[in-house]
Chain A
Amino acid sequence: MMDKYTKLQMAGIYAAIIVFLIFILLPFFEMFMASLRPLEHLFRSPYQFWSDDFSFQAYSDMWVTVPLLGRYIFNSVFIAFSVTGLTMIFVVPAAYAYARLDFPFKNASLAIFLGVNMFTGAVLLIPLYRVLRTLGFLNTYWAMIVPGVAFLIPTGIWLLRSYLEKIPRELEEAAYVDGASRMYTLRRVVLPLATPGLIVVGTAVFIGAYAQQFLFAITFNQTRELQPLPAGLFEFIGYQSVTWNEMMAAALVGVLPVMVIFLFLQKYLVAGLTAGAVKE
């Protein structure tokens, strides 16, 4: 069949995949190796790839050096979940409206949403600081959740809209003809059908929320107990020395929760994006 490869082609494909994966995974491998090296190993010259004094000591020491580490990891996940939940509350109705309904200023307002993609928080930091201060959100979880939600709403609408457009209209029309209210139709007919799409968009939003915490955290939050992991990690950089090995260990352990979540959801993600990407 046409999908069959010769042995040589197979070897070529695998070789290329391996090169690609080395590029992607090299930093993680390096972080892992670094976490095993004792601190005094770092400045040894010439450079050593391997030595006998590798140990997992850093993985237990890190909790002592940065006592709040567990809290930072929790904060990261908590903030990402909150951002995802709130974003979806705003995204789902709006995406439905853009996918199905006709209303004045539809295209103009959609363009405004997509235009938001052009700003990152970094452009608007100064006034955003003032807005959050006015709302009394500075130095609370809200300071990191609220801007995260705002910058993820447009992407969420864009992704979910294309998914909802794929769902056949007949069921909604049947419900409508039978006298169901619009809100009832949305809640009881459309949403159950859209569950796979909601998972995809939710995962994409979660990843975005998890990846983008650093800037908002270092700018809008001074409360140590509330810092997410990316900001907390920089505590390993002390006045006297940097405990690099513990920092690497903490980074790897810290991203574990999200990697586990991702492993469970990645199947839906690829499949869901496929469904969304195809135009009928």
Chain B
Amino acid sequence: MVKIQPGGINVTDIAQSIGRTQEASRRKVLPESVFAWLLVGPAMLFIAIIVAWPLAETIRLSFMEAGLGGEEYIGLANYEDLLESRKFQQTIVRTFYWMFLSVALKLVLGLVGATLLNAAVPGRGLFRVLVMPPWVIPIAIGMIGWLWLYNGYFGVLSGTAQAIGLIDGPFEFLAYKRSAFYSAVVADVWVGTPMVTLFFLAAMQGVSRDLYEAAWVDGAGRWYRFRRITIPQIMPVIVSMSLLSAIFTFNSFEIIWILTEGGPRSATTTLIVDTYKTAIGNYKFGEGSARAVIIVFLLGTFSLAYLFLLNKVNKKYGVK
């Protein structure tokens, strides 16, 4: 059961304020739809100026040869170049691999973490606080810490590996294609896990104890209760966090940019990094915009497909 805390308001206050409004009762009441749009309108207008207008501008620029010098209409040429490029195809594949791997790890770690922090052991209040810092601090600052950890000369990871004899000399985690990619994944998982954990934990606390007690009385073990009660009960949150987390991870920019700037030899270049490099780094606004449009298209398609499949699965299993 969830109780709503009235937040220090007592009922007489409310009764009084309601009483006072009776004087105003002769005023005409706004129609619901007009009032609603008055409330939603400002937010909508803000989004229109800061997001929709730039988005339209991005689409327009994607048909242009545009840079610092000026603009010239070139039709679909930017898109044709991109779709024919092997390198760009590899970037798309790499981005999806990055997303699936990182999101899967975040979900598993988040589920494990939330289960641990939900266990009735002394000190869990403290543990819950200690898990949050990566989420609370600026991503750029967390990445400075990881830069250091991954350093071959002064990082503790390379240092420990040397001390126990795993490697002979310093190992630069970010200097080799494969290790750089997985190092960036780990840092991304580090940033994303606390939020996933927190939302899963919140969902687990919302599961009614009656369910667990009934199962316990019937002799169900912990693992069984976890599988058959906890997971199904928090499924809506798992589903929405998966999509949200996938979108964040797909667009994760600062982590890669600060750790590797997309290198070495493009090993960590995802679509968003490629877009930034092209548009901001090389002033190729047209080509960069075409990449941005492709990102929006891919993410939009992915989200719709996800929601569509989800709907189908839900129907099949009779979940409303």
The reply to whether B39 and A20 form a contact with Cβ atoms under 8 Å apart is no
Q: Is the CB of B7 within 8 A of A193?
A: yes
What CA separation (Å) do A179 and B13 show in the bound complex?
17
Within 8 A of A (CB), among B252-275: 253-254, 272, 275
What's the dominant secondary structure at chain B's contact region? helix
Given A2-B213, A122-B275, A251-B144: A20 and B54 interface contact (C-beta under 8 Å): no
> A118-B300, A128-B54 given as contacts; is B14 within 8 A of A189 (CB)?
yes
Neighbouring A residues of B104 by C-beta, 8 Å: none
Q: Which of A13, A30, A48 counts the most chain B CB atoms within 10 A?
A: A30
B interface vs A, CB < 8 Å? 2, 4-9, 13-14, 17-19, 21-22, 24-27, 29-30, 32-33, 35-40, 42-44, 46-47, 49-51, 53-55, 57-58, 61, 109, 112-113, 116-117, 119-121, 127-142, 144-146, 148-149, 153-156, 158-159, 162-163, 170, 190, 193-194, 198-199, 201-203, 205-206, 212-213, 216, 236-237, 244, 247, 251, 253-254, 272, 275-276, 279-280, 285, 288-289, 292, 295-296, 299-300, 303
Q: Pull 20 A–B residue pairs with CB atoms less than 8 Å apart, ordered by A.
A: A16-B112, A31-B148, A33-B156, A45-B170, A47-B159, A104-B33, A119-B251, A126-B288, A127-B55, A131-B54, A150-B47, A179-B21, A180-B21, A215-B253, A259-B133, A262-B132, A269-B198, A270-B205, A276-B202, A277-B203
Interface positions of A (Cβ within 8 A of B): 2-3, 5, 10, 13-14, 16-17, 20-21, 23-28, 30-31, 33-34, 37, 42-43, 45-49, 76, 89-91, 93-94, 96-98, 101-104, 106, 109, 112-113, 115-120, 122-128, 130-131, 146-147, 149-151, 153-154, 157, 166-168, 171, 174-175, 178-186, 188-189, 192-196, 207, 210-215, 219, 228-231, 233, 244, 247-248, 251, 254-255, 258-259, 262-263, 266, 269-270, 273-279
Tell me whether A124 and B58 are in contact (CB under 8 A): yes
Nearest first, the 5 closest Cβ-Cβ pairs linking A and B are: A179-B25, A27-B145, A47-B159, A180-B21, A195-B7
Q: Is the interface of A mostly helix, strand, loop or mixed?
A: helix
Which chain B residue lies CB-closest to A124? B54
- Decide if B6 touches A124 in the complex (CB within 8 Å): no
